Structure 1
Amino acid sequence: MRFVLLFRAESEPEGPPSVEDLAVLARYRGILDDAGVLVASGWLQPTSTGAVVDFSGPDRTIIDGPFEDLDSYVAGFWVLRCATFDEALDWAQQAPLASGRIEVRQVEGED
């Protein structure tokens, strides 16, 4: 099964992670890779570089970022291949993050 682990922050980061934080996360990414569970990973650019397509009603409205009315911001993600939801949760709990949250959700459909 595939699971997406979404890194959520209370506020939008003002820039990319520090060199030190990137090194710590790169080491953990290596652990995930060595364990054979890592499918994909990445950091997202700020919401100021994105847009939302709103599907309210019959028309489609494009709303350009930044999005300041969000409860939390998705800063990055890992896609893992795990046997169970509990295994994915275990990997999330071991992540070397100092703050924020990781949302764990199963990807629908078979690989």
Structure 2
Amino acid sequence: MSRKVVISKTAERKLEELFEYLIEKWSIKLKKDFVEKLDSSIEIIKNQPEIFPESKKGKSLRKCVITKQTTLYYRYNSKRINIVTLFDTRQNPNKLTKEI
């Protein structure tokens, strides 16, 4: 069964900021590589949402490491995958609590 992927406003904003940063500070190729990793991870989540570990940060929240700097947090049920936020692991971890 294929679940619908829903991206929260917070995750959408964080993704836009990340894309801008990658293009401005690095390159379009690096952004493209990141998008491929993100798409691949979302496909895995759609097909096997329980494959990634539960996070200690929130109830029924799971985390998927996209790169060593970026982690995607999500919740799921039988019909939907809710992408809650993307988190830059170089930040203070307490900031994550405010986003979820």
Is TM (by shorter chain) over 0.5? no
Q: Which has the higher helix share?
A: 2
Q: Which has the higher strand share?
A: 1
Q: Which has the higher contact order (CA 8 A, sep 6+)?
A: 1
Larger Rg: 1
TM range (shorter): 0.3 to 0.5
Give TM-score, length-normalised by structure 2. Answer: 0.34
